[in-house]
Structure 1
Amino acid sequence: MAPHTYTISRLAYVKLLLHAAKYPTCTVNGVLLTSSPPGVTDVVVSDAVPLLHHWTSLSPMMEIGLDLVGGYAEDAGLRIIGYYEASERADETSLGPVGDRVVSKIKVSNADAVALVLDAQALSMGEAGLLPYTASPSLKAIPNSFTSPPPTAPSADSKHSPTFHLAETDLPARTLRAIEERTVQEELGDFDDHLEDVRIDWLKNPKVTATAEKL
């Protein structure tokens, strides 16, 4: 079977970076969604839902948040494809025990589950700044797996390992510029924010969607 290729959409990438930028002194996490059907090898990560920046352990809030995202995804014709995490430490790119457990849970119904961990140092150098972890056959990091532009033919390495790429190669620079110049990260709300103010639509984040479309 051919290895999977994962495309990270503009919306999913922007939401992930804004979540990390809004809470730079906290570990943040969220869920990745796809519109791609099960069984395909070309998977589009079409959206991301920001979960937590306070209760990032395996807490009841995490379980409730995951259940709510699952219901939202089903209603929207999407499925949960993975998990993302950004550490409060800029030099930390390992996937913590919580991420391991969440991805393992997602894998039960989605064999192509993945995790993306923010690599702040790589991001600062103009790279995608994401370290992927795949859950098949076992959860492990896939370094140097982001390609730019997307490969038109598999390389020797990619014949057996999944590859990842951003939908648009200049997304890191454009997103960071919007964060620095317009502080657009303040438009984003996660499940923790929703628990403090129920008016915050953490599942859809319509303001962020509109911002991403204009980047």
Structure 2
Amino acid sequence: MTSYTVAEPAYLKIFFHAAKHPHKPVNGVLLGTKSGSAVIIEDAVPLLHHWTSLSPMMEIGLDLAAQYAESVDMKLVGYYQASDRLDDTSLVPVGEKVAGKIRAGFSDAVAFVIDGEKLGTDEAALIPYVPTPSSSWRPYAGEPAPFSPNSTFKLASSDLPRRAVILVRDEHRHQKFGDFDDHLEDVSIDWLRNKACLPTPS
């Protein structure tokens, strides 16, 4: 069975994207590598916060993200989204389409929907979605539950959710974060790397 580990840069960027646009739907793609049956989700590239459809801007952003992933010896391994409502944790049809496109190039692709009600807590604010034989996507229902001990879904460090909250609340790191939408308005915003928002390694 394939396992998935979400590394610090990926989790923080997903969190910052949702925190910067709390009342808008946001989405992006996940970059990573696979070794044996283990997928390491190493990074995230944020796409849009104005999206409601599979627009030309989404397609361009996806292509650029895929090119960037290749340039750093990674590939697109998944998709993430957040709704504009805290209690909405469904993977929208557009999200299913994008996740399906990613899966066409990486058979173990996964999708995450941000759980708005867990964003400010010590728990991983991610709900994994996996493909079904009919090519639709459903929340992962295996045991143990995602991000619990011995789960096939894990965080690289268990304190990541708490650290993400501190970085937003105390250091306002999400204000240094930009997605493809932001880049289209200000080309100086480095939406592919977003290094400015990440804490420097100690």
> Could you say whether these structures have the same fold, taking a TM-score greater than 0.5 normalized by the shorter chain as the test?
yes
The answer on 1:145 being equivalent to 2:145 is yes
**In 1: Cα distance, 2:69 partner to 2:90 partner:** 27
Partner of 1:196: 185
- Do the aligned partners of 2:15 and 2:119 also contact (CA within 8 Å) in 1? no
Alignment of 1:19-30 (within 5 A): 19-30=17-28
Give the residue type in structure 1 aligned to 2:97: R
Answering whether residue 53 of structure 2 is matched by residue 64 of structure 1, we say: no
CA contact under 8 A between 2:48 and 2:180: conserved in structure 1? yes
Pairwise CA RMSD: 1.7
Deviation of 1:136 after TM superposition, in Å, equals 5.2
Is residue 28–residue 56 contact of structure 1 (8 Å, CA) maintained in 2? no
Q: Give how far 1:172 is off.
A: 0.6
Q: For residues 123-202 of structure 1, what are the structure 2 equivalents within 5 Å?
A: 123-135=119-131, 137=133, 138=135, 139-143=137-141, 145-149=145-149, 151=150, 163-202=152-191
Query: What is the distance in 1 between the residues matched to 2:158 and 2:84?
Result: 26
Q: Describe the SS at the equivalent of 1:50.
A: strand
SS at match of 2:22: coil
Partners of 1:31 and 1:84 within 8 A in 2: yes
Within the alignment, does 1:108 sit opposite 2:110 as a pair?
A: no
Gaps of 5+ in 2: none
Aligned to 1:32: 30
What SS class does the counterpart of residue 201 from structure 1 fall into? coil
CA distance in structure 1 between the aligned counterparts of 2:171 and 2:56, rounded to whole angstroms: 35
Quick one: distance in 1 between partners of 2:113 and 2:44? 13
Residue 48 (structure 1) aligned with residue 37 (structure 2): no
1:77 paired to 2:66: no
SS at match of 1:29: strand
Q: CA deviation at 1:182?
A: 1.4
Counting aligned pairs with the same residue, the percent is 49
Letter in 2 for 1:10: E
Residue 65 of structure 1: how far off its partner (Å)? 0.3
Q: Could you tell me the TM-score, scaled by structure 1's length?
A: 0.87
Aligned length: 198
TM-score, scaled relative to structure 2: 0.92
Q: Secondary structure at the match of 1:200?
A: coil
